[in-house]
Structure 1
């Protein structure tokens, strides 16, 4: 035989053996499947037989009870009077030996209750059962015998029962009434549920006319359903009183193995059905087990055959494998983004990959030099300790900051692993080093962001406490201004200047709260042209004389609904970025224009709906950005500036402001040509105008002297609010905690409005107080106030009718909020 055919014969023999093994496993699984099906069918049949016997035993007992009771009534017709104690006593004695029967009931020919074993039927306890199906069936066909009704609600006890009834006749052969036994539906259902047919199996009790009496699970859903068109009643029952077949479920269409039996001598049919998913679970596990074994044998056979075949080409193939292995090893080590160096025990470099050569500016991998030539002298002692540890057989790992020949420095995660021979001798060590400079930078930025967050929290707390003090200050200044006569112009001027200074502090607090993210936007109809013109001087002073500012405004510019303070911050951020891009000198252009979007504008993140917009474009003549940088310009913390010269938050804050205002911001940039940033802000229309801000002037309102409950833990603010309310004609009641507030609300004299601070001491907030008050006094108007001017502090259930009054507030603002809340309208 030709030796070259030997490997092929070995492989072919292995394949034939594997096919024989698979055929044997398939045969065994087929036999096991048929056996499993037969076993399940037999188990279903046994359970159906047991269920038949259970129903037969119980219903026969009930039938005997009904028959003996009817015979007794026939012998003693005098018992058949409503509420007859002798009848009730007779029924109680009759039902006692039959625990399955909850009671026995006797109805007259008109369906009225004569009496039952529970004592019903006497005066005041009359009931009519003429509407019940079992009465009507027996009345229409007194000779039909036993009739079992579908589950109905008992009129004696508040639970479902299945009535088993018989008619009784008068001595002259006429229909005299009905005697029935109500079987406890729940007990029967629990018995059905106790039968083990799996989670997806069903047990069903039918009347022989195809009506479902009880089915588990989902008994209540199926009771009374007519399924006489089911194959069970059209095909199988007419052929045999018991049997098994495959059928689909009535609700889920799942094929099940079903066994059925007609209850002997009774108008009942029982079925037991199991889902193949459950009864074949064991067979599937066996199939999986044997399939895995067969697959393993196949692999073993094929592997063994291939191994034998390879022996004929071992020498040539082993040499080629060695070459391939070396090439693959070199491919991996040369392309992995990490430094890999193999150093011998003598200190000479045996191998250095491409990254190592690039980092240390070595042109070729052939040059053999000592590792000491590449160690920074300033770190020689530290590195020597780690090298000695590796040569001693210990792994040394850690982060290192390494200087390279090109003058750059990198943070590296470095590990030195001993290279041991087969006898355990250390022949040298491997150095694996990964550049983690970028990770270090990100960690530094994260620490910076956390520091900024901490500063924000501090700023928010300071602004909140300051707002409480300013609330008292501004409120009292408003009251003082209101009290000064118009002739005291010099005094009024002093007060007005103090109010202006306090408002500037309040504006500074709003900026602090915005920085702390505890201040939401305060949109108002704004003249953008006027705002930009007013900022020109500030921008020129901020940017310096080397930056030329050019403003081009559309004289027909629409007004827009925005927060003017946040727009000023956005323009200032854009101007500062433009100045940095122009390296301190150049021309900055601000252009305003109207824009009508006929189709949605995709800004790369979300789609901006069509409509009318006001655009503000800030252009510079700076270095510009490549597309990959421009795409990330609005990402938080992304910056191309040197560390410490930019937080990466400026443009992201601009983008967030534009999106929150209902618009967007688009950036266009080219390297060496400059950058153009365009803000799209929603237009308020050509003729829109803002309402004058509420100041010291109060709204005109008849002073009816309503009592207003003020809940404020700060005594200065509480006193100021009390004085303001008194000056407006109200009768204020000031308390410092929720407990006192509830006590005040419970007094006989009514409270017209609840004005409460949100943050209160003692663990109960103003919102909690408002919820308590709303539950007990649902018509009570409620007004919130807080030093954090964030409407999200007000829960959803109050936002439709309740306003948040931001501290500090003016006399006019308080007056407007009070009047609007009492009138049932919300102040925007």
Structure 2
């Protein structure tokens, strides 16, 4: 209790109970005596009938109460002596007044009263001091209790484990924040609810423990439960629960016979989901280790740090016949027992590897020579955690050594080669752990890229549709504004440039996440670099020296030509920024091979041949941290107004999406080199320099174009652009509408369709159906998303093209013109012929009639082409019967399993009679004798329905 809460008694009790110095107490007593004398004099004058010493009684009591019994006794003596002295002085030389009866009676009464006051003061002071001391102890106890309660509250609220308290009816009374986070239910929603209400999947596992504590009052620790919680309904989690009683006193109070009662049941919950997973991982690793140890063709064993064996594989058991688990040295030859055990003890003491040749007893009692070797494995502190040992049978080696007197060098080399197998097994286990950590890091990086990809890809289609409409309408507005309205034209130009910048930003984000639409074509990188070098020299400024080092006989690659130019330009601009004072930019090309060892160290790259493009600068270079984050989107070392941080990430995404690899080599102050590894183009045998054929009639001028687009604004814009270009346009909002127009008699020259068409058939399926009806139709796809662009792989025809969204009017008109101006192609012929001269003649005849030709000299090569990337474009196969690896008729049968509808011409020099029985009745197969000329081959084409003209 605070002093202010005790009223006027507080200061008084403070004066009485506090221990004062002697000087203070003497001074206080002197003041009391002085005041008593003064009051005595005053009372005597004003109240002569009142006994004067009555004032002194209060003084004696006060002095005793405040200053203690000894000083109170002194005050009493002083006052009594003073009264006696006054009595004597007041009578002068008269007889002794103390001998008189009244005076003596007065002094005696004064003495008795003073003594009583003294005793009362002593008794009351001691009592008050004890009371005040007890009050202080009580206050300290209350404060300590408050601290304890506050500590327990803080522990409950902030403990890293879940706490819950239940009443005897098994209902929640209180939970802490950690338990609420575990079960996903707010703290305030628990009180008064049962486990069945809140956690039905865990109720059956948790309720028995609580009920048992209520019944027995005991403590239950370490109960494992598992199930899902509202925090993650689909995730199975593991918990470790412990229960304890919270006791109160029963009706009998707290006396000796009182019986404690269980008022509440406490529960502590720790989530052990990760521990369980780790235990499963350890168990799986242990299982793999044991399988590996059992599979090794030697005896393998392990021991504890003190040398006690705790594992022997089955080869040991089979050789020794031991089932009792005896130590390995129990099977040593008597002559080898002492030296082997001494060497083993020396290794245990020193921690050095153990190696010993000794003889071990087999189950049949015979002895064989073994090379026994053990290696220690240490923990993080350097202490030996376990010994791994092996026993390799070297009986034949010892026999050969003794018989042929092999040199010591030969024996040591052979023994070393045979005893490293266990070390390799151990290394494989360690490598497995390292591979797991590497895989986890790659998974995190893949998840990061996937998150960006989902974000950008999810909005790309609709966003680029909007940008296409915006750009197209701005261009249309520019054409309709009068030339003198310069201010309006300027505003329109600003809007169009902003929309183009937005489209560029979207494409860069799609590039990083590998979702940008690409248009890969066979590309000569040397020619591309040469074409860019002059532009780079003028664009980068006079302080930049641009050098090119181009490899001779550089392989071709299949890549998006424009995106590769953008990548090199991005790298060149970064190099310029890294050389503010000027320097040298070097672009180098080379043929490269990435082997399996290199690819194993880098993610998402396959061994093989690549075309390497290196962009190097002599600038400031990168630190290790910057190099590690260089490909992350939005990461940049430039100022907030100097770049978006998407340049290198766009390069990274484009190269990876194209099946290539990119690496940065840089050090601070030593410049930077970025290497792009692009997949080498595997030539399929298609004619690279096919003679130009005449374009279809009218293609360069006007044509009939079918536009299929589900976005009404974008469809209206595309129709308007193509009609202004002079084309006859047929429009449809979906595949069903387009096919309906074909059923009504429409015969377009070009199909322009979005890949994604909403409900029903998509753009690729529509193109396949239209191509089935109109064999020579040309197709132009449009999309903003590489997932859709990848859907074209293997399904598009040889003359299909792709236009990425957003596109301008000029891009659409130009792309349509380019497609219509291309010469009509009739498809690909698979020519299976092992005789080079015959193949040359047949190829020339087929190419003269508008076909592209793939030549295969073996049957297996032909079947690989029929399953490979060129398969969709193959419209005919010409197969010779006599092939080096298999018969031609077997090739025809295999082709029927791959492409049942593929027309085939079978050429045979053995006469066609033996093939007539099986193939003669088939409408898709024509038989042709050898040797044959152009007329014979043309006749075979006509029999299969191909229109060919006479030469």
TM-score by length of 1: 0.37
RCO greater where, 1 or 2, for CA within 8 Å and sep 6 or more? 1
Q: Which has the larger radius of gyration?
A: 2
TM-score by length of 2: 0.33
**Could you say which structure has the higher helix fraction?**
2
